[in-house]
Structure 1
Amino acid sequence: MSRSSYLVEASDDSDLEKETCKMQEVDLLGNINRALSQMISQFTPSSSDLLQSLSVYFPLGTDDTDSYVTYESLDKNYNDLEEDIWGIAGLVLCLGSSIGAIYRSGAYDVVQKIKAFVLSWIPHLNHSVQNSLSSKGLDIALSVGSCLALPSIVAFCQRVELMYDNELDQLVIGFRELVSELVSVRKSGIFHQSLLMASCVEAGSLLACILNEGVHPLKVEVVKDLLALFRKSYSNPHPPLTHFGGMLGVVNALGAGAGTLVPNYPLKTLRTTYDQKDSFYIMGPLLSCPVLESQLTSLVQEMFLVAQNSDDHQLQQCAAWAVSFLRHCLWFRELQNTESSFPSDAASQKYVSQNFLKDNVVKELSLWLMHLNYPGVGTISHVYTVATVLRCLS
C-alpha cells in the first residue's frame, strides 16, 4: 500500500470514528433528556408535549429499550414535598442546563420548547401561573426549578439569537412583580421561603446576564426597584433562607454568579451607557453604572457591616458569604485581565496593582473600606478575612 493510500484510509477511519462518537453522544443526550422529561411528566401534564418533541428528535435506536419508568403517583395533598422541593427543582434545572448540547445537536425546536416550558412555570411570566402565594407545593417546586434554570437559558438564547428584546423586558418586569408579591407577605413555610430565595437570586443573575452583554438596555426604574426589593428581603424580619436569597440577588446583579450554573457572565464592556431619553435606560454592567452608584455602594456597604457587626450569627454568615462571592468574582476577573496583559511574567501577575474606573462602584467601595476602623474585640475571624480581601481590591 502506498503512503498516500494509507493516509487516505487513516483519514477515513478517523472521520468515521468521530462520526460514530458524535452519534453516540447524541443518543446519550436523547436518553438523558427523555429520562428528565419522563420524571417531570409525573408532576405536570404540561411536559408531555416536550417529551413528544424529544422522542421525535432523539428516537430510540433499534437495540434500545424505552427507559421509561413508572413512578408512584404523588399524593394529591403533597404532604411530603417539603423534603423534595429542591429535588424536583433540580430536574427542571438539569433540563434547562442541557439546551447548549441540544442546540449543538441541531434540535433547535426542542430548545425553544424547553425555554417555553421553563417560562410557563414562573409566576407573572405566564397567565396560567399567576397567583404564586396560593399555589400548591408541587407548583412552587416547579417554579423554583424554573427560576433557577432561567438565567442560563436566557444567556445562551441571547448568544444564538433565540431571545427577543421584548422578551427580556418582560422577564425583568415579571421577576420584579414576583419578588414584590413574595416579599410583601410574611410566611415561614419552606415553599414560600424557597421560591422567594430562588426568585431573588436568579432575578439578580438575570440582570447581570442581560446588562453584562452590553447589547440590550433596561429601564433604570425597574433595576432600582429590583435592588430595593432585594434589600427588603434581607432587611425585614424574614427567615435566614430569605435573607441569603436577597443578598445573593444584590451580588449576582453585580455579576457574582452565585448559585447558578453559569460561572460568570462575561463583561463585554466596562463602560455603562446611560440614556436620559425614553424614561432613562442603562446598558452595560452595573459595576460601572454612575446613575446607580450610590444605591449599589450603599447595599454592599450595608452587607459588609452586617458581616462585621450583626448580632444575628446566621445573618452575619449570610452577609459574609455574599460579600465573599462578590469579592471572588471581581478578583478572578482582574486575575484574568492581568494574565492576558502579562503572559510571560508570573511574578508581576501576582503583585500587579488593580485599577478601576473613577466612577466605578468597586473603586468607591474600596476607598470606603480603607478608612474603616475595625474593632479589636469580639469580631469573628472570618469577617476579618472578608474585609482584608475587599480592601486589596484597591
Structure 2
Amino acid sequence: MRILHTSDWHVGKVLKGRTRHDEHIKVLAQVVEIAQAERPDLVIVAGDLYDTAAPTADATRVVTRALSALRRTGAEVVAIGGNHDNGAALDALRPWASDAGITLRGSVGQNPDDLRITGTTGDGERWQLVALPFLSQRYAIRASEMYELTAAEANQTYADHIARLIEKLSEPFAQPGVINLLTAHLTIVGASAGGGEREAHTIMGYAVPATIFPPGAHYVALGHLHRSQKVIAPCPARYSGSPLAVDFGEEENIPSVAIVDVSTDKAARVRDVPIASARALRTVRGTLEQLATVKLPDAWLRVLVRETPRVGLREDVQELLPNALEVRIDPEMMPSRTGGRMAQRAGRSPRELFGDYLDHRGNAEDGVRELFDELYDEVSTAP
C-alpha cells in the first residue's frame, strides 16, 4: 500500500505579525496535488493541524477543506491532534469528519479500540493503524489508567507511560497478513528539532526513546519535529516535517511530505516530495549599504543590521527591504561584556545608570539624555 505522510501544518500561523493565510492555502493545495498524482491508499496527518488551540474561522475553513480535498482523491484520511491543537475541539468535529469519510482523533479516551483504525486498500491489502494524539504529562498518566497501575508505575516518567500505552495499543500487531502502522505526535530522543517547535513540549521531560515502538510495526508516521528525518528505531520510523517553514529557525529545512510504499513482506520505502509553494525564510546581515544590494523579493526576511543603534534605523531597513519582518542589531556588533565588569548599581542615581546604559549600548543620539532627565524630573516630583 502507499501512504502520504504529512504533519505540522500550523494553519493560522502569524509570523512576526504577518499572516500566512494565503501561503497555507497554496501549500495545502500542493499537498492535494501530490496526493492526486501519487494516488496513496492512506493519508496520515500526524498532528498540529492548527497553530493555536483557538483557531480562527478562516483557519478552520482551510483545514477542513484540505482534509476533504485529500479524501476526494480516493485515499483514506486519518488526522491526529498535536500539542498546538485543541484535542477536544477536534473530537467535536468527528461527526462531520465521519460523514466526510475522514478519521479524526484529537485526544485519548478510556477505550483503546477508539485509537485503533483498520482498513483495506483497493487491492485487498489489510492495514491497521494505531493513532496516538499528543498527550501532556498529566494526560499521559490518565491515559495509562485504562489498565491498572501499581503505585510505583503511576509515578514513572512520561516516557514510561507513553511506552506502556503504545504497547497496549499495538497488541493486535501480532495478527499475520496485516500491514501494521502507527502515528504519534512525539519528541524522540536523538532526533533533530526543526527550529520552530514549542520548546516546552520538546525538552527532555517530553522526549521518549525510539525503543518504545513495536518491532512489528511496518511504518511509524511521526509528527511534532518540523525537520524531515529518519528515526533509528526497531521499525521504520520517520518525521515528515512541516510542509512550510514555520519560523526563521527553520529556514534551512526543506519543506516536504513523505510518500511511503509498504507491505507485509518488504521494508518500507520512503521518498520525500518537496513543497515549494510557501515563501522562503531568509536571514540577511550587513550595513545599510550592503543591505541595499539584497535581492530577495519573494522571501520573508530577518535582518541583522551592522550599524550603530539609532532612532529610525528600523524604518530605514524596511524602506530598503519591505519584506523584512524582523530587524535587529547584529549580535556581533554588540559591545562585549568580557572587557570589564558592568557598572554597579548601588549608590548610583537613575540618571547615572541610564547614562551608563547608553554608553554601553553605544547610543549617542542627541537629546536622549536630556529627554530622560525631563521625564525623570516629571515623575519624581509628581504629587
- Is the structural similarity TM-score above 0.5? no
**More strand per residue:** 2
Q: RCO higher in 1 or 2 (8 Å CA, sep ≥ 6)?
A: 2
**More helix per residue:** 1
Give the TM-score normalised by structure 1: 0.26
